[in-house]
A and B are shown apart, each in its own frame.
Chain A
Amino acid sequence: MSAVSLDAVTVRIGSRTLLDALTLEVAEREHLLVVGPSGSGKTTLLRTIAGLASPNAGAVSLFGTKASDGARVLVPAERRRIGFLFQNGALWPHMSAARQIEFVLEHAGVSARERARRASELLEWVELRGFEQRLPATLSGGEAQRVALARALAVEPKLLLLDEPLGPLDCELRSALLAKLGELQQRLGLTVVHVTHAPDEARAIATRTLRLRAGRIEDER
């Protein structure tokens, strides 16, 4: 069974076609790298899988369940249980590191005590013990990205979407975060769809690379 299946998915905004009848299968536990020039549809692909962008045509299935059919949403974004690591982290500026994670768990129906335990466990795993009460403005780029990774993993997703997660980081932090991602995939058996501008760095942990251009698959290896 595929983790992600896109069947002739088209996404348009006005007269602009962002994804053009794209068909794609991502196997379970695969780490798919998606590369391509700016405006090629990489982020739109992730947003479509997550349910944040609505396709105009085509179907999206996740782990064998149809999530959207044409413009009709069958499983809304919040019920797809997908982890999404946004570019720049997208941390809520008024919430502490621990609260970022607890907020997600709260909406997943997790009890208050369990939320606090899981938040501290996740922060420890990303090597940020002691950072629980720190606000995003007081974190470095690497720390913020690790908090965002911990938040993305809070709901124990089977599918993790990464939108240029290494973008704002320096070389050393990139290597550290990549190592963390590799370890994570091994340990949890995650499926990862990873959009990047730096394919060379991520190729070591990727199982396949896809090149997009103008909303279509140009190359695959």
Chain B
Amino acid sequence: MSRPLVLLAAALFALLGLAPLALMAARVTPEDLSALFTSDAAPLLGRTALYGLGVAALALLLGVPFGFLTARTDMPLASVLRPLGVVPLFLPPMMLAMVWTAVAEMRGAPAAYFVSALSTFPLVAVFAARAFERIDARLEDAARLAGGTRAVLRATLPLALPPALCGACLAFVFTINDFSVPDYVSWLGLPKFSVYADSIYATWRIDARAGRAVAMALPLIALTLLTLVPALALRRRGALASVVPDFRSSAPIALGPWRWPAFVFCAGLLAVGAFVPLGRLLWEAGGGHKGWSSSELATAFSLALERSRGDVRNSVVSALATASACVVLGLVLGHALERSRRARALEPWLVLPLAVPAVLFGIGIVVLWNREATAALYDSDALVSVLLTGRFVVFAALISSGAVAALDPSLEDAARMAGVGPLQRLARIVAPALRSSLAGGFVLVFVLSLRELDATLFVPAANHTAMFRIFNQIHFGRDAFVAALALLLVFLIVLPGLLWSLFARKRLELLP
């Protein structure tokens, strides 16, 4: 890969992802840091860490069996349930909170744990499923000869666990940095459930001092980095590290009489995580308690389109622009991460924007771009894509680097010997071979961009998105309009993945 191209990509990433953080860090004063020790940060951090651990443990408990059953067994409809398993991850967590607090009258900490576990178990499930299906049939056969099914499980579980733990680490990071779910379940009434991200939000709201907000966020950033480092190390361990050139896939494990109970478990989990929330929103959009009718439903949808057309358009345009930018930047960075030893040093920096609470990253964007010289950009909708690209490019880069790792380097060497330049090699040799991973990166960033709320809260240009409109509207009461807008957003979120599933022959690669 040409060095200027990598340097250009790294510089662009530094501007979009690191500069907002560097500017924020520069504003921290000793007084800000000392305030950290006098505040009630320690107990709040402890509660947040416990919350993250609890959710990660629940995600493991639900995600590992879901991944195993859908990827490796003869459970009925396993091939249908497996792709549907990512839907709860794609739904904005606040939307799940809206529905389950209404359906089950849950409040406070139990509601936050329940909703966050539902929202993050697919992270574990997708990692576990891929790990289980990548265990060579002969490894299982050797274990089966040694001691039947018990030996198979004992020999293969340790191979699937490291990637599953990587998913659990990501669930932990997503949970401790999420502001929307604890905020919503607390806003509904007692008992309140305050977490650390709340206090960062509150600190900025009270006096708008960047240094104070950064100082407040430091313990959470440290906790996130401490989790992301092992997650990165675990992502290609175990089964994902043991793929051999003459790999043989295993036949599905026969569950016998456990086929239908397994189906009930997986389908039930999806019902709770996706179908009930969507059904409830459909019911609310059609009139809810006042009586459901299709005409009410049609009215709610036309109202949602009429009132929020601009917000929806802004959301889609910025998500498309972000996903496109991330895929291109991610391909260059991801390829460099895998093929160049020096570029590997970039990896910890790449995850930094994700390690910072989204609320704080948003504040950093305000601090960086809210100045006279960049007023045109700051006031334009393009700032939303600038914000989201800086934060999410890490996903596209890691997915690309994972795919490059599996690509035979001699393909590129052959092109090089034929005189093909570095940019051409990337575009005409590497990119076509990585298309399902590039599409996976595009879809993942598109989805994350559409459902992002926390990072956009303080950025004026980002206040005209569908997600922000829903957030504002629910604080003024839940009605058919909110439900219809939420459903519209969900439809847009799942659309690219749905189109890929319908028309592409290869599976979408969503994992780093």
Q: Tell me which residues across on chain B come within 8 A of A155, comparing CB atoms.
A: 146
CA distance A155 to B151 in the complex (A): 15
Which residues of A from 26 to 83 have beta carbons under 8 Å from B?
47, 50-52, 76-78, 80, 82
Among B138, B142, B148, B241: residue with most chain A CB under 10 A: B142
Q: Contacts A93-B159, A94-B238 given: A52-B139 contact, CB under 8 Å?
A: no
Distance to closest chain B CB from A99 (angstroms): 11
CA distance A47 to B138 in the complex (A): 10
Among A47, A80, A93: residue with most chain B CB under 10 A: A93
Q: Tell me which residues across on chain B come within 8 A of A158, comparing CB atoms.
A: none
Q: Mark B339-374, 1 if CB is under 8 A from A, else 0.
A: 000000000000000000000000000000000000
Distance to closest chain B CB from A43 (angstroms): 9
Contact B242 A86 (CB under 8 A): no
Q: Contacts A87-B246, A94-B158, A104-B146 given: A47-B151 contact, CB under 8 Å?
A: no
Distance to closest chain A CB from B135 (angstroms): 10
Distance to closest chain B CB from A80 (angstroms): 8
Q: Using CB atoms, name the residue of chain B closest to A79.
A: B148
Contact B148 A93 (CB under 8 A): no
Contact B138 A103 (CB under 8 A): no
Q: Using CB atoms, name the residue of chain B closest to A50.
A: B145
B143 in complex: contacting residue of A80, A82, A92, CB < 8 Å: A92
Q: Tell me which residues across on chain A come within 8 A of B150, comparing CB atoms.
A: 107
Contact B141 A84 (CB under 8 A): yes
A residues with CB within 8 A of B:
47, 50-52, 76-78, 80, 82, 84, 86-88, 90-95, 103-104, 106-108, 151, 155
Q: Tell me which residues across on chain B come within 8 A of A86, comparing CB atoms.
A: 138, 141-142
Q: Using CB atoms, name the residue of chain B closest to A76.
A: B148
Q: Tell me which residues across on chain B come within 8 A of A103, comparing CB atoms.
A: 146, 151, 154-155
Contact A151 B142 (CB under 8 A): yes
Q: Contacts A78-B151, A88-B138, A88-B246 given: A94-B145 contact, CB under 8 Å?
A: no
Distance to closest chain B CB from A147 (angstroms): 12
B contact residues, range: 20 to 34
Do most interface residues of chain B lie in helix, strand or loop, or is the interface mixed? Answer: helix
Contact A90 B142 (CB under 8 A): yes
Q: Tell me which residues across on chain A come within 8 A of B479, comparing CB atoms.
A: none
B136 in complex: contacting residue of A90, A95, A106, CB < 8 Å: A90
Q: Give me 29 A-to-B residue pairs in the complex whose CB atoms sit less than 8 angstroms apart, sorted by A's number.
A: A47-B141, A52-B144, A76-B148, A77-B148, A78-B144, A82-B145, A84-B141, A84-B142, A84-B145, A88-B244, A88-B246, A90-B136, A90-B138, A90-B142, A91-B139, A92-B139, A92-B142, A92-B155, A92-B159, A93-B238, A93-B241, A94-B238, A103-B146, A103-B151, A103-B154, A104-B146, A104-B147, A106-B147, A107-B146
B141 in complex: contacting residue of A90, A104, A106, CB < 8 Å: A90
CA distance A88 to B244 in the complex (A): 9
Known: A78-B146, A88-B246. 11 other contacts (CB 8 A): A52-B145, A78-B147, A78-B148, A80-B145, A88-B138, A90-B136, A90-B141, A92-B139, A94-B159, A108-B146, A155-B146
B residues with CB within 8 A of A:
136, 138-139, 141-148, 150-151, 154-155, 158-159, 238, 241-242, 244, 246
Distance to closest chain B CB from A145 (angstroms): 13
Q: Contacts A90-B138, A93-B241, A94-B159 given: A77-B144 contact, CB under 8 Å?
A: yes
Q: Contacts A93-B241, A94-B159 given: A107-B141 contact, CB under 8 Å?
A: no
Q: Tell me which residues across on chain A come within 8 A of B138, comparing CB atoms.
A: 86-88, 90
CA distance A92 to B241 in the complex (A): 12
Contact A107 B139 (CB under 8 A): no
CA distance A209 to B273 in the complex (A): 59
Distance to closest chain A CB from B497 (angstroms): 30
Q: Using CB atoms, name the residue of chain A closest to B245.
A: A88
Contact B158 A77 (CB under 8 A): no
Q: Contacts A87-B138, A93-B159, A94-B159 given: A78-B145 contact, CB under 8 Å?
A: yes
Among A51, A52, A108: residue with most chain B CB under 10 A: A52
Q: Tell me which residues across on chain A come within 8 A of B139, comparing CB atoms.
A: 90-93
Q: Using CB atoms, name the residue of chain A closest to B237.
A: A94
Distance to closest chain B CB from A212 (angstroms): 19
CA distance A104 to B142 in the complex (A): 9
CA distance A12 to B466 in the complex (A): 55
Q: Using CB atoms, name the residue of chain B closest to A104.
A: B146
Q: Tell me which residues across on chain B come within 8 A of A47, comparing CB atoms.
A: 141
| Pairs A-B, 8 closest by C-beta atoms | A107-B147, A90-B138, A78-B148, A93-B242, A104-B146, A86-B138, A107-B146, A90-B142
Contact A52 B141 (CB under 8 A): yes
CA distance A52 to B146 in the complex (A): 12
Q: Using CB atoms, name the residue of chain A closest to B136.
A: A90
Contact A107 B151 (CB under 8 A): yes
Q: Tell me which residues across on chain B come within 8 A of A104, comparing CB atoms.
A: 146-147
